[in-house]
Structure formats: C-alpha cells, structure tokens
C-alpha cells in the first residue's frame, strides 16, 4: 500500500506538471488566450477529446504536437496508477477481512441477510459473539460491513464460499434465505462440510419444515408459526409471556440462559447444593446430561458433569459468574 501511494503521488505530480506546462505554454504562445482557455485547451488535448479549429499559430501547432505526445502518455500512466491503486485497496481490504475471518473460532455463519438474518446479526452483535455473514447481494454485504460485521459476497450453497466463512471451525450456521429451496441446499452444504455443526434453518412454509430436518437442520424455525404462537400465548398466558419477554430484554434484572460445563471446569464434580450456596439467587431449571434426556429441577445432591448443559434463571451478573466458572480450568483464577 505504501508503494501504491507513492506511485499515485508521482503520477499526480506528473499529470499536474503536464497541465501546468501546457497552460503556461499556450498563454505565452497564444497572446489572446487567457488562463481558463489555455487550461481548457490543455485538458482536451491530453485527453484526446478533440476541440475543432481554435485558430492556432504555427508555434501553437508545434507546441500542441509536443503536448499531445507528452500529455497523453502522462495521462494514461496516471490513470493506470489510479485504477491499480483502487484495485489494490479493494484487494487489501478483502485480505484483511479474510484474515479476520480465518482467526475466528466457534463463530456463527449467517447465510442470507434478510429481515430475519438482520435480527439474528443484531442479537449476536449485542451478545458479543463472533459471526460471519454470507450473502449473494453485494449491497447487503456493504450494509453489513458499514456496521462492522464480517461479510462475504457469495453463495452459501457453494463449498468454496462456505470454506471462506470458516464453516469447519464454526459453532453454528443460520440458513435464513427467503426461499425455502435455497435454505434446504444451504443446510445440505453446511451439514456435509461440518457434520457435527448446529444448524438453524428458516422455513417459510409449513411443508418445508420436515424437508429441512431431513436435509440436516438441527432446528427449524418458522417465523409465521412462532409469531402466531406468541400472539396466542400473550392472549391466553399473559404473565408467562411477560416473563419470557422480560428474560430476553437486554436491560432486564433477570435472564433465562443455558451454560455448558466445559472439560476441566471449576464447576465439574461440584454438587448443585454446593454451588447454589454461593449464588442463592440462582435458580436451576433443568440440566441436560451428556447422552441423556433433559432433567427438570435437578436434585441438590446431583453433581455438575463435563459436557452438561444447565438451564438457569437469575440476575445477569450472577449468570455471567457461573458462565465464567463453567469455562475456567481447575486452579485458574476467575474474577467473581
């Protein structure tokens, strides 16, 4: 980039010198010409636009011939340097974006940035989770980049594009295109490239739900159906609806969350009673033991195990402390 900037500077200075040389020359040779006519004649000469008969003197014609040879070459060189620099800037920007994506681990890949995809991106950004957007529309990708999101312009049904998104290192994929058939192909592609990945797919039609599951989707979301269920719950179970809505709010004084106990965690082999005594406001709703079904209201004598997923309700800072402990290795200091 430093070399490109140097070349553009030299090309600009050369072009400016040619324009200054031509303007000065015409003002000296053509006595009746002023500054603006001289610079105008210089510009249309070196750009080969054509100017008709301006009544040049013999000396003016000779000077114009010299200006044509020098000016056209300089203008062509300068234009080439400008174009080369623009391309280099774009390539350098793409390299930086790809380098950022290559450094991601356990991130999410959002395939399709429609209304649903934008809502998912906003929530992931608010939670601080890394993600990559893949969309076929360059304008959509530019919109995402303007907001600081990593975005790739390409088709999520192509292996090369998905490898660019780091699909093999990703924790999850969201297939949220408007077309169900495209979501099915995206799901098949993601499942083939990363057999163990968590895939959430959007279904526009109820008939597409079972097709997406057969294609390999871990979860299928139908926004219209969920919206209808939420509306019905607000009518028939308003207090429950308020509770769930408040738990999703970023400024709520409590949250409903899940925490996975990582291998070597400080929590591993502790009982629910032992940890609950340190965080008495925390409520253990359920636990999903590795390889078994979900158990509601775990017993106080039950122990946390590596790979367990615990559903909890509590204050956000309390949940954050438990989440930190679930990630930390034994003997590692955790700020609580």
* pLDDT tens column, 47-89: 766 666 566 667 766 777 777 667 777 777 777 777 777 776 6
Q: Domain 2-99: which topology?
A: Helix Hairpins (1.10.287)
Rounded Cα distance between 320 and 125, Å, is: 17
**What pLDDT is attached to residue 210?**
93
Contact 175, 111 (CB under 8 A): yes
Closest CA to 170 of 144, 148, 152: 152
Specify the domain boundaries for CATH 3.40.50.720 within the chain: 105-227
Query: Considering the chain, what percentage of its residues have pLDDT values greater than 70?
Result: 89
Start-end ranges of CATH 1.10.287.70 in the chain?
2-99
Fold of 105-227: Rossmann fold (3.40.50)
Residue intervals in the chain for CATH 3.30.70.1450: 252-327
**Torsion of Cα atoms, 76 then 81 then 82 then 83, to 10°:** 90
Question: Is the C-alpha dihedral spanning 28, 29, 30, 32 positive or negative?
Answer: positive
Strand partners, 201: 175, 220
122: its two tokens: 């906003």
Q: Identify which of 298, 303, 297 has the alpha carbon closest to the alpha carbon of residue 274.
A: 303
pLDDT of residue 236: 84
Structure tokens, 164: 């660019």
What DSSP designation does 265 have? B
User: What is residue 331's predicted lDDT score, i.e. its pLDDT?
Assistant: 46
Handedness of CA 92, 6, 22, 38 (dihedral sign): positive
Question: Which stretches of the chain drop beneath a pLDDT of 70?
Answer: 1-4, 48-57, 60-61, 68-69, 88-92, 249-251, 328-336
Cα–Cα distance measured from residue 119 to residue 142, given in angstroms and rounded to the nearest whole number = 17
Q: Give Cα 111 to chain centroid, integer Å.
A: 10
Select from 3.40.50.1970, 3.30.450.40, 3.30.365.10, 3.30.70.1450 the CATH code of 252-327: 3.30.70.1450
pLDDT digits (tens, 9 = 90+) for 213-260: 999 999 999 887 777 777 887 778 887 778 777 777 666 778 888 999
Distance CA 263, CA 306 (A): 5
């Amino acid at each position: 980039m430093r070399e490109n900037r140097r070349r553009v500077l030299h090309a600009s200075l050369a072009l400016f010198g040619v324009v200054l040389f031509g303007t000065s020359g015409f003002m000296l040779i053509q006595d009746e010409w002023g500054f603006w006519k001289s610079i105008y004649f210089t510009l249309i000469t070196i750009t080969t636009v054509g100017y008709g008969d301006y009544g040049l003197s013999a000396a003016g014609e000779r000077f114009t011939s010299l200006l044509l040879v020098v000016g056209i070459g300089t203008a062509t060189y300068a234009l080439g340097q400008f174009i080369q620099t623009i391309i280099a800037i774009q390539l350098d920007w793409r390299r930086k974006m790809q380098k950022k994506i290559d450094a991601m681990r356990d991130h999410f890949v959002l395939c399709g940035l429609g209304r649903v995809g934008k809502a998912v991106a906003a929530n992931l950004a608010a939670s601080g989770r890394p993600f990559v957007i893949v969309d076929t529309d360059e304008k959509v990708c530019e919109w995402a980049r303007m907001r600081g999101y990593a975005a790739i312009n390409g088709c999520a049904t192509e292996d090369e594009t998905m490898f660019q998104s780091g699909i093999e290192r990703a924790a999850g994929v969201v297939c949220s295109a408007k077309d169900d058939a495209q979501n099915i192909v995206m799901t098949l592609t993601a499942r083939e490239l990363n057999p163990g990945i968590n895939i959430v797919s959007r279904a526009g039609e109820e008939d597409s739900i079972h097709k997406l599951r057969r294609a390999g989707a871990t979860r299928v979301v139908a926004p219209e159906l969920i919206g209808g269920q939420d509306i019905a719950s607000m009518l028939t179970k308003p207090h429950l609806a308020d509770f769930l809505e408040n738990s999703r709010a970023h400024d709520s004084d409590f949250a409903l969350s899940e925490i996975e106990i990582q291998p070597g965690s400080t929590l591993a082999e502790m009982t629910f009673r032992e940890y609950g005594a340190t965080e008495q406001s925390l409520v253990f709703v359920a636990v999903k033991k590795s390889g078994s079904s979900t158990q509601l209201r775990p017993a106080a004598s039950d122990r946390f195990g590596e790979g367990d997923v615990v559903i909890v309700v509590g204050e956000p800072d309390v949940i954050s402390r438990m989440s930190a402990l679930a990630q930390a290795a034994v003997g590692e200091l955790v700020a609580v």
